Amino acid sequence: MDITVLSPMAEEYLEPKAKFAGARSDSLRGKTVGILENGWTSMAALAEHLHVILTEKYGVTRVRHWVTGISLPAEAAMIDAIAADTDLTIVGLGN
């Protein structure tokens, strides 16, 4: 299964399009989930809530959390670190 990653950034900031493929799992149990957010208070609160739900309800072993900054895209090094350290990542923007 191919997953297409879309970016809301202006075209001049986009790098060549990448596709990520991974096997879909029937469960989140034992997985590492990343949360990438932009630092707005509302998203930070939601990320904390997601952390609790993911671990208590769905058996996620570990939740990693990254913040990009309110108006900044994630840098390539951050995206590489997220990809290397998580089974899946939730990306959220709050305002």
Smallest CA-to-CA distance from 84 within 66, 69, 67 is with 66
Q: Tell me, yes or no, if the pTM score tops 0.85.
A: no
CB 37 within 8 A of CB 68: yes
- How many Cα atoms sit within 13 Å of 11 on the Cβ side? 0
**Can you give the residue ranges of every domain in the chain?**
2-13+22-92
Sequence-distant (≥ 6) Cβ neighbours of residue 60 within 8 angstroms? 28, 29, 30, 31, 32, 33, 54
Binned average pLDDT, 10 residues per bin, the chain of 95 residues: 64 55 78 90 88 96 91 86 91 74
Query: What is the CATH number assigned to the segment(s) 2-13+22-92?
Result: 3.40.50
d(CA 68, CA 41): 13
